[in-house]
Amino acid sequence: MILHEPVHPQFFKERRLRLTLLTVMIAAFIFGFADLISNRNFERLHIFLFNLCSGGFVVIYHTENTAQPSSRAYGFFVLSLLYALFAFLEMYLPAAIISVVLAFVVESIRIQKFPFVPVDLISTRTPIVDKFHHAAILCLSIALVIAAFVVVNNDALHWIANKNLTLNLFFLGYSFPLSLLSMSVMFSFVEESAAPLPRMLLNFFFWFITLGVVIFFVFILKSMAVAKFAIATALFVVVALMLVFFLRYGRPVQQKHFLLSGMFFLLFTGITGVLYIILAHFPGPYATWGRLLLNSHSYLALYGWSLSGMLVLIRWNDFPLRVNSLRVIGIHWIALGIMAPLGKTSLTAALITISLYLYFLSLFFQRDR
């Protein structure tokens, strides 16, 4: 096992590969607003195409760390697209079968770089970058297995009767691997310190975030409102501490601007999450503002925080970019922080949001002259 190896100099340099991935990411974003035209639960395609197909592919390609993705990585990409299609069409048995196959593919790639039994996660010698990276790909395979079980349980076996045990809940679990990978990317730009306090804080961040999110899912399953509020508040506080830590120890490079923007997206995700939990106890305001708040939370998390880390990773070997960082970040915030939630209820706002999103990506990926 090689710890903290440099990103391959040809990683994501293939232009057709970038265009293919960007096409799927754009399709995912557009499907997020497709229910305004036809109410067919396009939300599933929106989530799966971004989190599993795009995000999952980036996770395993980064784990392989080669010039070109392997045949297994491409196989994952194709099968994940089929999975998204079957889940959208509510063809649950083939979706469950593909989910298990995808889990085996992910595990076969994981054990090439990391131990089969993840003892490195508890080792003090393992760099925090590798801990978050290993947790990301491990959570991806676990999410695939759990999702397959949930589908089979609800559709055929009925072993566990729980109204919260739904695919709509667990497909959100696919966002966690990409979030963990973004944290790995962020901590790649943190200056190493021999002092004990920064090292202790890094390990505290890792364990609190990974275990905290898992515990939060358990509380959702158990419908424990007070416990959900407590853990959501605690996660918000820890994210705020991580932001301060990154401001203090992050290296002064261009990537830091985009990752700091992502951290502020994540911080606002924590705020909207806590507010949503509180609002759920007030039926009147919840009926008026609940959906808008939930949409804000979703877009801030997926296309704000997670996308920031993923884009920095995809263009890793191109930095420094010849772009106006503040301008690109500003458009990102207007598109995702303001327009996207409004676009869920207004076709005009949706079209403006999609246009801004495309403009943001075009600026970020514009070719250096």
pLDDT tens by residue, 311-359: 999 999 999 999 999 999 999 999 999 999 999 999 999 999 999 999 9
Q: How far apart are CA 251 and CA 192, in angstroms?
A: 10
Domain that residue 4 falls in: 1-188
Contact 337, 268 (CB under 8 A): yes
pLDDT-based confidence at 1, cuts 50/70/90? very low
In this prediction, residue 288 carries a pLDDT of 83
Mean pLDDT of all residues belonging to the chain: 90
In this prediction, residue 280 carries a pLDDT of 85
Backbone angles phi, psi at 221, to 5 degrees: -60, -40
Q: Has residue 122 been placed in a domain?
A: yes
Answer whether 0.85 is exceeded by the pTM: yes
Q: Has residue 367 been placed in a domain?
A: no
In this prediction, residue 311 carries a pLDDT of 96
Residue 148, both tokens: 């397959």
pLDDT at 2 over 70: no
Question: Which H or E run contains 88?
Answer: helix 71-88
In this prediction, residue 249 carries a pLDDT of 92
Q: How far apart are CA 92 and CA 83, in angstroms?
A: 9
Q: How far apart are CA 200 and CA 236, in angstroms?
A: 19
Q: Has residue 254 been placed in a domain?
A: no
Q: Has residue 116 been placed in a domain?
A: yes
Number of domains in the chain: 1
Q: Has residue 196 been placed in a domain?
A: no
Q: Has residue 269 been placed in a domain?
A: no
Q: Has residue 305 been placed in a domain?
A: no
In this prediction, residue 368 carries a pLDDT of 59
Q: Has residue 327 been placed in a domain?
A: no
Sign of dihedral through CA atoms 123, 204, 267, 248? negative
The per-residue pLDDT for range 76-118, each reduced to its tens digit, is 999 999 999 998 888 888 988 999 999 999 999 999 999 999 9
Query: What's the N-to-C CA distance of the chain in angstroms?
Result: 39
